[in-house]
Amino acid sequence: MPTTFRCCSTSTACAATAAPRHGFLNLKADSSYYQLVSRRSVQRPELLIVEPFAPDASYLVWKLENDPRIAGNRMPMLALPMPEEEIQLVRTWIREGAFSQ
């Protein structure tokens, strides 16, 4: 997972500090990869949160970019949007297969 995206997991305005609830991701470093890659979205079960090799089909990218097709709020919730350069790092990581690092 990109380093900058891992940094999101320490934000107090993000899913990292909240107890995982229905529809919420646990982005803590020890579990985030398994919460994201090849897992179905609770909000949009027809989509994978991260579909390896397919950033345009990955619900996580939609959430980060505030795509009109998302359910709920953009990510990160209750914080400024992720800078475009960091979103591009996430897109690249997914395009390259979303491998664990």
Q: Give CA–CA dist 7/79, Å, rounded.
A: 14
Residue-wise pLDDT for 76-100, tens only, equals 888 899 999 999 999 999 999 999 8
Among the residues of the chain, which ranges form H helices?
3-8, 32-36, 59-65, 84-95
pTM for this model (two decimals): 0.79
State which residues form the domain around 89.
3-95
Could you tell me the CA-to-CA distances from 67 to 14, 59, 61, 73 in Å, in that order?
18, 9, 8, 10
| Residue 77 maps to a domain | yes
Q: In total, how many domains does the chain have?
A: 1
Region 20-40: mean pLDDT is: 72
Residue-wise pLDDT for 37-90, tens only, equals 999 999 999 999 999 999 999 999 999 999 999 999 999 888 899 999 999 999
